[in-house]
Amino acid sequence: MTPEPKTKQLIRPMSPTWWLEKPAYTNFMIRDFTSVFIAAYCIFLMVVLCKAMHSDAASFQAFYASWGSGFSKTLHLIALIFAAYHSITFFNLTPRVIVVFKGEEKVPESTIALAHYGLWAVVSLVIIVIGLWV
Amino acid sequence: MSKTITLEVFRYQPDQSDEPRFQSYTVPYREDWVVLDALNYIKDQLDGTLSYRWSCRMGVCGSCGMMVNGTPKLTCAAFLKDYYPKPVKVEPLTNFPVLRDLVVNIDDFMHKMKEVKTWLIPKKELPMAGSGEYLQKPEELAQYKQFSMCINCMLCYAACPVYGMEPEFIGPAAIALAQRYNLDSRDGAKDERAEVIFSGEGIWECTFVGECSVVCPKKVDPAGAIQQAKVQATKEWWLGWIMPKAK
């Protein structure tokens, strides 16, 4: 435990709007809150898919048709934008977490980031191909 | 007429008032002056009651950290020319209690450094009764060198909203320094530090706001150090779970 101060001191509490004081803090809050949306979307997706898979053919057709609604398209577009935003912020931060040395030299951050973006592109392409094929 | 610049300085004099205030001082403007030079001018020529910490004037000692126009800075490296002709607001580092004027209480930080054991605890005793050398290869030095640049200036704590809200958080510099010693091939106290570093008040409090690394005057990247420690802790947890006997 931190020792108790022996002299009088001034405590300055953080303002409730601290996250509006700097663009970096605001960006952090946007990152955090959009991740809540992504998590909620993932749970929602899993639940509806489980329900659909355990229903009869007619109910599944009705469920499938509901995905074409304007609301569903908007929801998925928002989810796609947020997911892309999180992928980009994640890949941009990755080189600071995965540090690779070649002898005394650090492998450049750009190399690590580009490798991740490359892998992302390949995996996305594979998913698109599978989606079109199926 | 020679140019001048205004400094709006945070004043807190607990022997006179419980309320802090700002006091304006007009000082000569010189292109080669930093904020610390202006504060020294005030102290020497205008108002001897102003209190602040400083020592080396060359970005090494880490004592002169203050908020300059709301951003944590070493005042010995914050040039007046970057703010002129607008006034410069100087405040004590945020997230720390203020003792007087621009002087903050650093007891909490010092206590955390001690808790984390930010010093070298050798893996083995020196040969020849303590008179030998701990040998290290350049590639082993490279592993931790960046983190060893920390000068304990505490700017990272002032930039960290997590520390502001949760003062129990061990904080960026202490964790970066723990990582500095954990990565040192001569050190053998990783497990001793793990208890504090891997606790709820350690690395897991950090939400990667990242401002600690932005304000760091020595490019230590404490945010990176914390995330690296998270990966290491997760890896060790899984390994301990899959292969309990390996530990």
ipTM, 2 dp: 0.86
Q: Output the CA torsion B164→B165→B167→B168 (10° steps).
A: -140
Residue B196's pLDDT is 93
The CA distance from B175 to A59, in Å, is: 55
Res A121 pLDDT > 70:
yes
The CATH class of the B4-104 domain is alpha beta
pLDDT on residue B247: 56
Amino acid at A89: T
Q: Is B142 within 8 Å of A97 when comparing Cβ atoms?
A: no
Structure letter (DSSP) for residue B61: S
Question: CATH assignment of B107-246?
Answer: 1.10.1060.10
Q: Is the pLDDT of residue A17 over 80?
A: yes
> Both tokens of residue B132?
């030998």
Is some CB atom of chain A closer than 8 A to the CB atom of B94? yes
The fraction of chain A above a pLDDT of 70, given in percent, is 96
User: How many CA atoms does the CB half-sphere of B138 hold within 13 Å?
Assistant: 5
Report the pLDDT value the prediction gives residue A68, as an integer from 0 to 100.
Answer: 83
Interatomic CA distance for residues B242 and A11, integer angstroms: 47
Sequence spans of domains, chain B: 4-104, 107-246
Q: Do A7 and B214 touch (CB under 8 A)?
A: no
- Indicate the residue of B20, B70, B207 with minimum beta-carbon distance to A10: B20
- Provide the chain B residues 45-74 that lie in CB contact (below 8 A) with chain A: 70
Q: Which pLDDT tens digit goes with each residue over B55-82?
A: 999 999 999 999 999 999 999 999 999 9
Q: Which residues of chain B have pLDDT under 70?
A: 1, 127-130, 246-247
Tokens of B145: 């060198």
Q: What is the pLDDT of residue B131?
A: 72
Sign of CA dihedral A69, A71, A74, A80: negative
pLDDT given for residue B135 in this prediction: 87
**pLDDT of amino acid B190:** 93
Instruction: Find the closest chain B residue to A98 by CA distance.
Output: B228
| A26 contacts in chain B (CB < 8 Å) | none
Sign of torsion over alpha carbons B50, B56, B58, B60: negative
Query: pLDDT-based confidence at A56, cuts 50/70/90?
Result: confident
Please answer yes or no on whether B227 and A97 come within 8 Å at the CB atom: yes
Cα separation of B218 and A104, whole Å? 20
From the list A69, A71, A79, the residue with the least C-alpha distance to A42 is A79
Mutation for testing the A interface, residue in B73, B203, B207, B227 having most A CBs under 10 Å: B227
Cβ-Cβ contacts under 8 Å for B128 (sequence gap 6 or more): none
B165 Cα to chain A: minimum distance (Å): 7
pLDDT value, residue B125: 75
**Min Cα–Cα distance to chain B from A10, Å:** 5
**DSSP class per residue in A28-82:** HHHHHHHHHHHHHHHHHHHHHHHHHHTS-HHHHHHHHHHTTSHHHHHHHHHHHHH
Report d(CA A12, CA B167) in Å as an integer: 12
Contact B54/A44 with Cβ under 8 angstroms? no
Per-residue pLDDT, B193: 95
pLDDT confidence of residue A52? 81
Q: Are A70 and A78 in contact (CB under 8 A)?
A: no
B114 CB contacts (<8 Å, ≥6 apart)? none
Distance CA(B180)–CA(A108), nearest Å, equals 20
Contacts of A22 in chain B (CB under 8 A): 70, 211
Closest CA in chain B for residue A18 = B161
Q: Quick check: B150 and B196 in contact, CB under 8 A?
A: no
Q: Per the CB < 8 Å rule, is B223 touching A8?
A: no
CB contact under 8 Å between B97 and A106, yes or no, is no
What pTM value is reported for the model? 0.90
Across A19-23, A34-38, A40-44, B40-44, the highest mean pLDDT is recorded for B40-44
How far apart are the CA of B30 and the nearest CA of chain A, in angstroms? 29
Window from A65-74, A90-99, A108-117 with minimum mean pLDDT: A65-74
Contact B210 A28 (CB under 8 A): yes
Cα–Cα distance measured from residue B65 to residue B53, given in angstroms and rounded to the nearest whole number: 8
Instruction: Give yes or no on whether B4-104 and B107-246 have one common fold.
Output: no
Chain B residues within an 8 Å CB radius of A19? 161
Which of the residues B208, B211, B215, B235 would you substitute to probe the A interface, choosing the one with the greatest number of A C-beta atoms within 10 Å? B208
